[in-house]
Amino acid sequence: MAMTSNKTQCFKCKKEKITYSCKGCSKEFCFMDLSEHKQILNQELNHITNDYDEFKQKINEQRENPQNHSLIKKINEWEIDSIEKIQQKAQNWRESVLEYSPSVVNDIEMKFNDLNEQIKQIQEENDFNETILNYLRNQLMKITEEFNNPSNISIEQDSQSFINEISFIVSKKSKFNRWKQNGITLVGGNGKGQEFNQLSGPEGIFVDKKKKIFIADYDNHRIVAWKYIAKEGQIIAGGNGQGKGLDQLNCPTDVIVDQQNHSIIIADHGNKRVIQWLNQKQQILINNIDCRGLAMDKYGFLYVSNWLRNEVRRWKMGEYNNEGIIVAGGNGSGSRLNQLNLPTFIFVDEDQSVYISDSNNHRVMKWKKDAKEGTIVAGENRKGENLNQLSNPQKIVVNDLGHLYVADFENHRIMRWREGKDDGEVIVGGNDKGNQSNQFNGPCGLSFDDEGNLYVADYFNQRIQKFVTIL
């Protein structure tokens, strides 16, 4: 610091004194205040020295023990916190599984008891063959698979995050399914004809678990199958001209796939017979029957509608050499609850209740097992286009929520009836007759795949339309 002989004002005490300049801050201080100022600077230097010594000690400690790094501590804290969250979430999912597990076991047990009753009945009657044994064996395999891998609950992992996030999934079937109103033409739509990309009067259809579509191609006297996203179909039955030979068909109206042996069963309407095709080998199951619609229940019983005798009959699996048992109608043509008038397509639910498209009565009937008469579940005894009416109903499907789906042929729409409701609702179509993607011209057959997508045989448009579900 430099001394000056001039008196100036001290920065600290503000008095006129001999002052000394501090080169660090360029301020003037009297002798007393300059000493205090130096002392303050010395204290600050001591602080810096102490901080330096402390930091040097931290460096030495870090070198000796690198695990004490602050970032390592933060990682350890993150690890503990994450483990606690994972453990808590895992416990929550365990509780959820324990909550739903009894219902899953109860469902499996019900199916198992049902199968056990069938086995007991077969043992008591001592009446079985290889087909029945194969059916029982397959049913037991299905129940075992369902028990080991329940279809309605599962654990899913989200692999997008660093640590896979898991979710407990309980499948719930929507009660209010909707479909896009513009259909996609999967099959046909290329005019009436018999080429591999054409149809001629498609009636009954069946969609299997692989989304393969089986079509009763009425005027072409054949059954064609279209694999998922195929450009051409494959003839799997008939296609050898109209005729009554075993390798021929005559105006087939319906087709179902027997899941037990993967054969197809056909309502060979023009030949008045039900015929089975298995690996290009044919077997007539039922002869001399004016068949239109087919159905098979979970026990393997085959149901056939006889539209001229106004009845539906049931045959036991493998025993088609008798007249079968009447399960609906059989009381002449009429509109009473114990009568039918030109029944076409049929559906059988889990309880062996039979649903019938009573086409000339413009209604759908439900006959419970062993009932003497049916109940009207859709439409009424006169044709019309109101929401409580039908006009020549054709193919029907009932889902496990009890919702009835009907191909309303002459109203060019697909209808849904919820159980107990007087009015139905239009789910697709109903936009007048036409060939646009949101129109039909005589919808006849319908089916669903496992994802809930709807398939419709559009009879006069010579095409199969797919309507994608939007849940």
Say which residues have a Cβ less than 8 Å from residue 140's Cβ, sequence separation at least 6: 115
Closest CA to 111 of 135, 133, 153, 140: 140
% of the chain beyond a pLDDT of 90: 53
Tens-digit pLDDT profile for residues 142-181: 778 777 777 666 666 665 556 666 665 555 444 557 899 9
> Checking phi first, is residue 136 left (phi over 0); if not, alpha (psi -120 to 50) or beta?
alpha
Tens-digit pLDDT profile for residues 103-149: 677 777 777 777 787 787 777 767 677 777 777 788 788 778 777 77
Domain assignments of the chain as residue spans, ordered by start: 8-64, 92-170, 178-470
The reported pLDDT for the residue numbered 327 is: 97
d(CA 393, CA 408) in angstroms, rounded, equals 5
Backbone angles phi, psi at 469, to 5 degrees: -75, 145
Q: Scan for tokens 């020549």, then name that residue.
A: 392
Closest CA to 465 of 217, 183, 150: 183
What is the CATH topology of the domain spanning 178-470?
Neuraminidase (2.120.10)
The reported pLDDT for the residue numbered 4 is: 45
Q: Count the Cβ atoms, other than its own, within 10 Å of residue 430.
A: 19
Tens-digit pLDDT profile for residues 403-412: 999 999 999 9
Q: Scan for tokens 């513009």, then name that residue.
A: 182
